Amino acid sequence: MADELLAELMMQAPYQPATNCWRAPEIRAVVDHGLPGGNGLDLGCGDGHLMEIILRRIGNRDLVGLDVDPLETEIARACKIYREVLTAPGHQMPFMDSSFDFVFSNSVLEHIENIDGVLREVARVLRPAGRFVFTVPGPAFHDCLRRPDSADREAYFRLVDARCAHLRYWTVAQWTEALARAGLRLTHSQEYLTEAQVQRWDTVARYTSGALMRLTQRKKTPIEIQRSLGLRSPRIRLPKSVARAIAALLQLQIGSPGSRFGCLLIEAERV
């Protein structure tokens, strides 16, 4: 049976099957947890596609989108789910103090070098008792991977990290400490993305974005490759029946969930 959320993702973004395998359980975790009310900031909003899917399940929010990539923010503006979309880095947000009731960030913080600067900015733009909800890969991510038999374990981990531009896999304790330095108090954490789901993502990525990056000698990111091939366009869609068939096929790759999880959902409060 097809995973309907995965089928929806495949229908709307068929050019990124591995990412869709990751996003389906990730979106489900965010929707189950929920987002606060009031006005919010989508930090690292990208093209807005993910937030659009979340809002269809939890209801509309008064949102501003922020991303450092001008090509992504151009697409995000066109999707009409944000009151405003701005292009700026997360450590220099163009907002007044205490501007938002909540900040949401999905699979962004693991890529940011100046993480302390971004967390301080999140605390600054949040109102007192405002909430910060974010998702990141967790400390067991590497352990969840199923490396090829011919690959050296540590070398394979470095390969995956380079492809994904992952800079950290912090524990809850490490996030608690970093958030506290910025004036934020961790109030909730939960794991998601089972070991089997990580391995499905890894297998699909190895033969799609991983193969393309090898062909380009790793001089381009997966998003840059998609753009160069003319794939990253809202006009590219799959028929629903085809998307459901692909989702059902990908679902066959899921075995026993395993005892470990690859990602964390964390909520913090401005103190």
How confident is the model at residue 208, as a pLDDT? 82
Quick one: how far is CA 130 from the chain centroid? 21
- Round to whole Å and give the CA distance between 174 and 170: 6
Residue extents of the structural domains in the chain: 4-270
Average pLDDT, the chain: 91
Summarize pLDDT for 149-206 with one digit per residue, the tens: 666 888 899 989 998 999 999 999 999 999 999 999 999 999 999 999 999 999 999 8
Is 204 within 8 Å of 211 (Cβ atoms)?
Answer: no
How confident is the model at residue 212, as a pLDDT? 58
Fold of 4-270: Rossmann fold (3.40.50)
- Round to whole Å and give the CA distance between 215 and 256: 33
Kindly give the pairing relationship between strand 184-194 and strand 261-270.
antiparallel
The list of the chain residues with pLDDT below 70 reads 1-2, 147-151, 209-220, 222, 225, 227-234, 253-255
How confident is the model at residue 153, as a pLDDT? 86
Amino acid making up residue 184: L
Per-residue tokens: 4: 């309907």
Name the residue with tokens 């965010």.
30
How confident is the model at residue 1, as a pLDDT? 47
Model pTM? Answer: 0.92
How confident is the model at residue 238, as a pLDDT? 87
Write the CA distances from 151 to 159, 172, 207, 218, integer angstroms: 10, 30, 15, 18
